[in-house]
Structure 1
Amino acid sequence: MFNKIVVGLDGSEASESALRVACDISSKYGSQIHLVHTPQPQTVAFAMGAVAGYHAVTTMPSDEEVQQAADKIISAGKEIAKEYNQTVSQTHTQRGDPVDEIIACAKQCTADLIVTGRRGLGSIGSLIQGSTSQGISRNATCAVLTVA
């Protein structure tokens, strides 16, 4: 039923929950799992500034810092999959609009399902960037599951 599942990760608890659901589905159907993360300098800067003891971020992170953050998110995703005895078939990290990149990945790998978390960035992030899960639901050409 679901041969290929694309999971959008942003490092949030909601996206990790989405991956756990995708792993559960994958274990039932023998699906391939594709992880997609779209590094966003703004969210890396926000996360760096949100750490206790640090003042608000006044500069954007370097490309290297953004890539390091992306690598950590993908590595954490692989570890979650491993907990469910699942293997990640491919990882995709491409800067751009998360909605566009997740949908493009799903089309490229002919996914049957896209799984995302809801409210990964919270109300501030969704005001700035819009709701990724809503954008995917409106524009995807395959099934979409949004995990709360």
Structure 2
Amino acid sequence: MKHVFVATDGSDTAMKAIDMAAEMAAKFDVPLTVGHVLQFARPSAELARMAEIEHLAQSASQKSTVDFRVLTGHSGDLFSDTRPSGDVVTAITAIGDEIVHRADARARELGVREVDTMTEQGDPADAILDMATSAGADVIVVGHRGLGRLKSLLLGSVAQKVLQHADCTVISVR
């Protein structure tokens, strides 16, 4: 093992993945890269709920001049085919920065000496694979959301797509 990459969306399952990746990187004294895929295509109400639950909006808003109420679904719809407004893009980017900042801090707490962070946009599985390749990772750690069998069969999951297409070892954490 020479380099570990972990993907996070700020969820509880992703935090478990961060812990596992950090413990491996610390144990083998290898670099860890934390990656986050900016969620421009997610419904705004879902993003607002995630931000409130994780208290991400509060932390991110202190570092930004954006009114985070744009994520409530009333001022902008992130699910539309058009590009979101500038404030929505800035808010989502600030939340993404906060997610990787927290993951970086957690990894260092667990003893990782070298941590790097990245954010990308696009299809989550493709972006994760691209970031891992760019980082030079030979191990990818992702959280598994646990979609139901039928839903997973019809839609697939990010973890499943990463596992199928990665050229390196992939660990899916539940």
TM norm structure 1: 0.83
Q: Is the 8 A contact 2:138 2:168 kept in 1?
A: yes
Q: How does 1:70-85 map to 2 (within 5 A)?
A: 70-85=96-111
Q: Percent identity?
A: 26
The letter for the 1-side match of 2:20 is: V
Residue 139 (1) aligns with residue 165 (2): yes
SS in 1 for 2:9: coil
Q: Is the 8 A contact 1:78 1:87 kept in 2?
A: no
* 1:30 paired residue number: 29
The partner residue of 1:57 within 47, 66, 73 is: 73
Q: Is the 8 A contact 1:8 1:116 kept in 2?
A: yes
Question: How many pairs align?
Answer: 143
Unmatched segments (≥5 aa) in structure 2: 54-68, 79-87
- Structure 1 stretches (4+) deviating beyond 6 angstroms? 125-129
The letter for the 2-side match of 1:140 is: A
Deviation readout 1:41-66 (Å, 9 max, x if unpaired)? 244721315659x9x62423611111
The letter for the 2-side match of 1:60 is: D
SS in 1 for 2:33: strand
Q: Is the 8 A contact 2:120 2:131 kept in 1?
A: no
The letter for the 1-side match of 2:38 is: P
Q: Is the 8 A contact 2:107 2:115 kept in 1?
A: no
The partner residue of 1:67 within 90, 93, 104 is: 93
SS in 2 for 1:116: strand
The letter for the 2-side match of 1:65 is: A
TM norm structure 2: 0.72
The letter for the 2-side match of 1:100 is: D
Structure 2 Cα separation of the partners of residues 48 and 12 of structure 1? 13
